[in-house]
Structure 1
Amino acid sequence: MSARLGVVMDPIAAIKPRKDSTLALLLEAQRRGYELWYFLATDLYADGGAACGRGRPLTVRDDVHDWYTVGEPRAMPLAELDTILMREDPPVDAGYISATQLLSLAEAQGVRVVNRPAALRDANEKLFALHWPHLCPATRVAADPALLRGFIAEQGKAVLKPLDAMGGASIFVLADGDPNTSVVLETLTDGGRRYAMAQEYLPRIDEGDKRVLVFGGEPFPHALARIPARGETRGNLAAGGRGEAAPVTERERAVCAELAPTLRERGLELVGLDFIGERLTEINVTSPTCFREIDALCGVNTAGAFFDHLEGSA
């Protein structure tokens, strides 16, 4: 009997198959003979002490016009699955947290969940890197606009962003004295009721915001530099940046080696580290991307390398 792999993700009908890393993972799993089951986060539930879900059998194809078939839903204990990939995109809101708590229950009942649900709850993608402040640009996180304004004044120029967004959404670059400062800070903090992050502006963003994928604490040797479009400061592909292949540098390998024991201890088996120059800016843990772009540019099988790790560490 083949191994059963569940995936919790956003609606598969709405993905961009040419670019979607979750689809790349599913295609590789199917090539290896896994039986695939598809869930939305809202398909998960608990029945007494049992973690359950309404799963749909899934078949995937590498076809931008016809990339999946799902069968009829079936109520099932999640313990029927061997592994679950939690790949729902941020925001990490109350619904997401509840889904991870149900997945923690499944984990306690013998299912391998990647990434570990407790780590998904604890490792905020913007804040987690601050456990290694010497690797990061100067950073301040606050809900008080005055504290963020003071940071901009200290730095002369800063990047402002929310803690729960992705894909370059709601990222601002402000210089000291910028007339838009007040409205940006009011918007990001909801008038002082929500945390936001301010980071030192790194001019090397012109060279790209580099994504390094890390499997079980080990960096994949091929990375993606996301170069901002003309007139932009965001390298995110979702914000119009372009991808260029880039090798993983010795400095980046050293950062991975420093982070690896913590990543392994927490069960963060699939992570995306973001670098600008030599500075670590984010640790992405929810649904790290760029598999398809790295494959296309470098002629490699990134998802295959991940499954080599997954099967080798079972």
Structure 2
Amino acid sequence: MKIAFIINDIKTEKKGYTTVDLALTAHRMGHEIYVIGAGELAYASDGFMTARAYIVQETKYKSAENFLKALQKSDPVTINAKDLDVLFIRNDPSDDMNDRTWAQNSPYVFGQIAMRNGVLVLNHPVTLPNSINKMYFQHFPEIIRPKTIITRDVREIEDFFKEQKSRMILKPLQGSGGKNVFLIEEKTKKNLKQIIEAISRDGYIIAQEYLPKAVDGDTRMFLMNGEPLVVNGKYAAIRRVNNNGDIRSNIHAGGHPEKAKVDDDMLRLADALRPKLIQDGMFLIGIDIVGDKLMEVNVFSPGTLNIMSKTYGVDFSKAVIQSIERKIRYKEIYGPDVNNATLAVL
């Protein structure tokens, strides 16, 4: 199987990223892997997607660090969609929202071309643009989401603050890793207008109900093919806790991972997401849960899967690659009779 991973930029990729782990796992399983930066995609005159891609030799790499170094030192080669079986879109659009806005949508735009060229594209590139920011979150059942408004109007946010009894969360509509997330309380409301001004520089603002259970951290869970990812009876789920008094539990924001206890409430919540995820062809996503509420849906580049594998002693990345192998077998059997969105979640 020839599989390409789209990232933001090979120079900024890090050894601890889930995409690196997925690519290394695919390489160890005998597949040909290519890594493509969001700015290295192109369209050829014959109608095919092309790209400058980074590759590695058939060496057995002992660590993600050595594997990534080999990728970064390699001379990029030009590949054509004809050379690929799978294109896995794993860039984070929010990383390019300030300096490279043109790179935010290029992966799914070129992904749609690759799909027409006969390549299996994950996640489904036609619906992927709908999830480029946190507005996608609002398409899921209201009963499993915190109360939320999305606006740039200061007065609307102030009114919502009063409705929430002077406690709410503010964050940007587009972003990841816990960037610019604020807890607004009675004692901090004097800074509300300045915080709104700072967040609104990058666009719309999400004002959200504060969930008291957030002080205990959140749970990141992976869903694959619309269902919780499970290997040997262990869920790909991890509890993220920040003991520094920070409301953010993201690993990038100082949170540390612990084993998660996946309960019936979490499973019911995950099951409620399934119809929409199946409809949209969302192969692999990460969801963040606080109590019995869904806090976030990460469709583009959910992380911590490699941390989960180490925590539980099972290989979740291998299960992801095996699922992609199965999709390719279906594609070989059915050809164009089964579309990309359907294959993505089989």
Q: Give the TM-score range, shorter chain.
A: over 0.9
1:184 counterpart = 2:174: no
Give the direction of change, closer, same or farther, for the CA distance of 1:28–1:66 in structure 2 (3 Å limit). Answer: closer
Tell me the alpha carbon deviations over residues 88-124 of structure 1, each in whole angstroms, 9 at most, x when there is no partner. 1231644221331111111111111111222221124
1:16 CA displacement: 3.2
Map of 1:154-169 to 2, 5 A cutoff?
154-155=163-164, 156-169=166-179
1:175 counterpart = 2:178: no
Unaligned 5+ segments in structure 1 are none
Instruction: State the partner residue of 1:235.
Output: 249
SS of alignment partner, residue 244 of structure 2: coil
Return structure 1 stretches of 4+ with deviation > 4 angstroms: none
Give the direction of change, closer, same or farther, for the CA distance of 1:310–1:65 in structure 2 (3 Å limit). Answer: closer
Structure 1 residue aligned with 2:21, among 24, 28, 34? 24
Instruction: State the partner residue of 2:124.
Output: 116
Letter in 1 for 2:119: V
Structure 2 residue aligned with 1:279, among 293, 299, 312? 293
1:176 CA displacement: 4.2
State whether residues 125 and 284 of structure 1, in contact with CA within 8 Å, keep that contact through their aligned partners in structure 2. no
1:259 CA displacement: 1.5
Normalised to the residue count of structure 1, the TM-score between the two structures is: 0.92
Instruction: State the partner residue of 1:88.
Output: 91
Map of 1:193-272 to 2, 5 A cutoff?
194-220=203-229, 221-272=235-286
1:74 CA displacement: 2.3
Instruction: State the partner residue of 2:51.
Output: 53
1:65 CA displacement: 4.7
Letter in 1 for 2:190: P
Count of aligned residue pairs for this structure pair: 309
Q: CA RMSD in A?
A: 1.9
SS of alignment partner, residue 272 of structure 1: strand
Letter in 1 for 2:31: Y
Normalised to the residue count of structure 2, the TM-score between the two structures is: 0.84
Letter in 1 for 2:2: R
1:255 CA displacement: 1.9
Letter in 2 for 1:168: G
Structure 1 residue aligned with 2:8, among 7, 10, 18? 10
Instruction: State the partner residue of 1:128.
Output: 136
SS of alignment partner, residue 88 of structure 1: coil
Structure 1 residue aligned with 2:311, among 291, 297, 303? 297
State whether residues 161 and 172 of structure 1, in contact with CA within 8 Å, keep that contact through their aligned partners in structure 2. yes
Letter in 2 for 1:244: E
Instruction: State the partner residue of 2:115.
Output: 107
Unaligned 5+ segments in structure 2 are 230-234, 329-346
SS of alignment partner, residue 105 of structure 2: helix
Instruction: Give the share of equivalent positions with the same residue, in percent.
Output: 28
Give the direction of change, closer, same or farther, for the CA distance of 1:271–1:297 in structure 2 (3 Å limit). Answer: same
Which structure features the higher share of helix residues? Answer: 2
State whether residues 93 and 103 of structure 2, in contact with CA within 8 Å, keep that contact through their aligned partners in structure 1. no
- Between the aligned partners of 1:74 and 1:15, the Cα distance in structure 2 is 18
